[in-house]
Structure 1
Amino acid sequence: MKKTLLSLFLLMSALFMVACGSSSDSGKNDSSSSAGSSSSESGTGASADSIKIAGIFSASGGAAALGESEMQTLKMLVDQKNADGGINGQQIELVTYDDKSDQNEAILAMKKALTQDKVSIVIGGTISGNSLAMLPLAEQNQVPYISVAASKQIYMDENGQARKWVFKMPQDDQQAVERILQYLKDNNLTKVAWLNVANSYGTGGHDEFVEHASKYGIESVIEDEFETTVTDAKPLLTRVKKANPDAIIVWGTVQESAVVIKNIRELALDAPVLASHGIATNQFIEVAGDAANDVILPTGKLLVANSLEDSNPQKELLLAYNESYTSKYNKSASTFGAYAADAFTIATKAIEAKGTDSAALRDFIEQELGEFVGLTGTFNINAENHMGLSPDSFAMVRIVNGKWTLED
């Protein structure tokens, strides 16, 4: 009898979960929707012939400092586009997922976007690990995927060839590492400590450092890593202090880098601190506080847009984006949101030209987009390079009194 009741209970529980999993949250503006329940939005209500685009971001969890602005930016731009009549008279239906900074959630979200939502294009993958986990599904389903994460591995396979269905908006980790190395060389800081976060983003950066450091006359006196969940890096930094480096490179994103850099200040290590473009958001300054001052990093030009020459082709675009985002969300725009904005602009250009056929969209981005001046830089995507940014899309920036200032 007990076994019968238990079996019946399990059966009913399974049926209940299936029913819950198939429910839809269509029409809600919920930036924290999970991979289990998508949020479907359009400016005037989606119709059967609407254009479906997916946004999959880490709007919560450890990478929320990056993913929240990406999610918000995409929603803002879809609303603006739909208010202007959509694309070729069709409204955009945006389906959003919050992967909670978790690879398994990201995979689930990508699978649902492609097989259930039947979207024409996917934008997202806030962090490199999630993007790498998601991209095989895009390739298997032959749907264009525009990643907003940094690792070179996202758009290039193990043979150095461009992945057919994957494009990427942020600058390469290779480009970021080489800008840091050039800065070190120019300032005669030749012996450095390299510290990276222990995930795909961190190891990708470390690989580039190992490969390119000697070309710039830079050598490491210590190389080590820290966890994404680090709360106290002082034991690690004690070893760094003994190594007596000319400079310290902290390669991570907002939360973990802030912990390490605060500990560097607490231990009074007086070597210059350089960081990756993974901290290029005001939230890093908020989390790190005074410890953020004098940190130097390569980043896109959004954070220093007001300091750019008026002749710079990005300046007007950057200021307009920041104004729109600040007006809507009552906070400054983020470099990471800019990645999502560039992805959306490229996606809409492709859809305007080719409709919603996935193969035609892919071919347009690769072969017909041409030179595109975006918020991140000037893109020249082609068959060999599905990122298309040059190193000059970076500026070297120093944080001074809690503000971003041009270093070069």
Structure 2
Amino acid sequence: MNKVQKLLVSAALLALTLSGGNVFAEDTIKIGAFFDLSGPAAFIGTPTKLVADMVVDKINKEGGVNGKEIELVIGDTEGDPAKAVNIAKKFIYKDKVAAIIGPTRTGTGMAVKKIIHGGKIPAFMTVGGDPVIMGGEKLGPFDWVFKSPQRSSVAVKRLYMYLKEKGLNKIALLTASDGFGKDGSRWLTKLAPEYGLTIVAQEAFGPRDTDMTAQLTNAKNANPSALVVWTIGPAGSIVSKNKAQLGIDLPLFQCHGLPDPKYIELAGKASEGDRMPATKLMVVDALPDSDPQKPVIQEFVRLYTDKYHFDKQFPINTHSGYAWDAIMIVANAMKKAGTDADALRAAIETTKGYVGVSGVYNLTPEDHNGLDVDSMVIVQVKDGKFVMAQ
């Protein structure tokens, strides 16, 4: 190797070192993305990460953001709030990311909310609960936090609209004792009077409990016209199976986090007839051609199933589009405002008319989600599949 070659190699190694292993670091926009890639919610977090990769690949192939490619910096929270905090700090202070996507669950979202506010980096979360975008002395400011899944309050409103329409006005609530379940319980209780509904029983269970027969028995004894369950993960399927085992002949409604083939797989025949609010992604073929979301969702499904074949391991569920919408909104804002944190935050906050997989988003300073009840439908299990509820 001659001197010139040695100099070139040395220069390349130096560039590699300074860029942290990526010689194109200056030509990319770093976005931190952390999800539950392991732990009890990995069945949600792992496919969310795959969708994040998919949408970034799409954006980069279409020219990136103002000529720069997006580079995802991935982190695994393991469902642990403390680990989520450490990852968020790393994203902000070491990786110098321009924005953050994730995490997966409400509890970890709340754990990092203060860190994100202090670091002044926009974060678009993929969590279900509302507290991450609620303010006040107890919950803290949410200026820098946004979320792509429907607010729990919106899902409750959509469900209550349906219950009122069907004349199911006496309900028993069974809610998980975690952050997501408590958030749902709060909205279910608060909004019931607005829809003329009476809550005749309220029962709680642990998100990892394996038997809810006691809670179901208490709920049945209150003589409700319907059961409403608020949880994510296997617990929802357990409630459905326990209901069937007890011979309880009452309609069962789950929350917007459970429209997932896994729910049907775990609950089996017991799930037949169960209903729940969902994104339109779950019933795209039943949407009218006039729905602006239909072509967007169809393109998403084509990429997810036909190009990347993610459905082989992770069938499409109501969570599938959340990372897509979060990253698309952030990327669109970057195209307008660049990556300066204040300008980017303001651009995200004023997003209007973005047609996504999960709805048409119209964000405001007061609403960092931007979705309303028209973004949701009620689905039911029929012959082992999700269909539009009648």
TM-score normalized by structure 2? 0.89
Indicate yes or no: 2:102 matched with 1:119: no
Residues 342-380 of structure 1: CA deviation (Å, up to 9, x unaligned): 00101111122222211111011123x322111111111
Give CA-to-partner distance per residue, 1:19-76, whole Å, 9 cap, x none.
xxxxxxx9xxxxxxxxxxxxx999xx74333110011111222212221221110011
Q: Which residue of 2 aligns with 1:180?
A: 159
Contact 2:117 2:141 in 1 (8 A): no
Match of 2:133 in 1: 155
Give the counterpart of 2:372 among 387, 390, 393.
Answer: 390
Distance apart, 1:330 and its partner CA:
4.0
- Quote how far apart the aligned CAs of 1:122 are: 0.3
1:372 aligns with 2:354: yes
Going from structure 1 to structure 2, the CA distance change for 1:161 and 1:135 (only over 3 Å counts) comes to closer
Report the secondary structure of 2:172's partner residue: strand
Q: Which amino acid aligns with 1:323?
A: R
Structure 2 Cα separation of the partners of residues 46 and 131 of structure 1: 31
Which of the numbers 190, 203, 216 marks the counterpart of 1:211?
A: 190
Pair 1:340-2:318 in alignment: no
Q: CA deviation at 1:118?
A: 0.9
- 1:261 has 2:240 as partner: yes
Quick check: 1:193–1:240 contact (8 Å CA) kept in 2?
Answer: yes
Structure 1: how far apart are the matches of 2:54 and 2:386? 25
Matched, 1:353 2:323: no
Q: List aligned pairs for 1:9-408, cutoff 5 A.
A: 46-158=24-136, 163-327=142-306, 328-331=308-311, 332-367=315-350, 369-408=351-390
Secondary structure of the residue that 1:158 maps to in structure 2?
coil
**Quick one: distance in 1 between partners of 2:217 and 2:185?**
20
**Shift, 1:278, TM fit:** 1.1
Mapped partners of 1:59, 1:266: distance in 2: 33
Segments of 5+ residues of structure 2 without an aligned counterpart are 1-15
**1:161 Cα deviation after fit:** 9.5
**CA deviations over 1:309-330 (Å, ceiling 9, x no partner):** 0111000110110111113134
Q: 1:86 to 1:234 in 2, by over 3 A?
A: same
In structure 2, relative to structure 1, the CA distance for the partners of 1:41 and 1:52 (3 Å cut) is farther
The amino acid of 2:183's aligned partner reads G
Query: 61-70 or 109-118, which moves further after superposition?
Result: 61-70
Secondary structure, counterpart of 2:192 in structure 1: helix
* In 1: Cα distance, 2:220 partner to 2:348 partner: 48
Deviation of 1:136 (Å): 1.0
Check whether the contact 2:174–2:215 (CA below 8 A) recurs between aligned residues. Answer: no
> Contact 1:67 / 1:336 at 8 angstroms: preserved in 2?
no
* Residue range with higher mean Cα deviation, 316-325 or 159-168: 159-168
Query: Distance in 1 between the 2:241 and 2:73 partners?
Result: 38
Give how far 1:337 is off: 2.3
Distance 1:116 1:248 in 2: 48
Contact 1:298–1:397 at 8 Å: present in 2 too?
A: yes
- Larger mean Cα displacement after TM superposition, 270-279 or 78-87: 78-87
Distance in 1 of aligned mates of 2:164 and 2:135: 31
Q: Tell me the amino acid that sits aligned with residue 57 of structure 1.
A: F
Q: Which sits farther off after the overlay, 150-159 or 125-134?
A: 150-159
**Partner Cα distance (1:162, 1:397) in 2:** 35
The one-letter code sitting in structure 1 at the alignment partner of 2:371 is L
Q: Secondary structure at the match of 1:384?
A: coil
Q: 1:34 aligns to what?
A: none
Aligned AA for 2:343? Answer: A
- Cα deviation, 1:287-316, whole Å, max 9, x if unaligned, reads 222222211111110000000001110001
The answer to which of 178-187 and 206-215 deviates more is 178-187
Matched positions, count? 367
Question: How much identity, in percent, do the aligned residues show?
Answer: 34
Secondary structure in 2 matching 1:279: coil
**Counterpart contact for 2:280–2:377, Cα < 8 Å:** yes
Whether the 8 Å CA contact 1:51–1:90 is kept in 2: the answer is yes
CA contact (8 A) 1:380 1:388 kept: yes
CA separation in 2, counterparts of 1:185 and 1:251? 18
TM-score norm. by structure 1 comes to 0.85
State the SS of the aligned residue for 2:292. Answer: coil
Aligned 8 A contact 1:71 1:337 in 2: no
Distance 1:137 1:406, change over 3 A: same
Q: Does structure 2 conserve the Cα–Cα contact (< 8 Å) formed by 1:144 and 1:362? A: yes
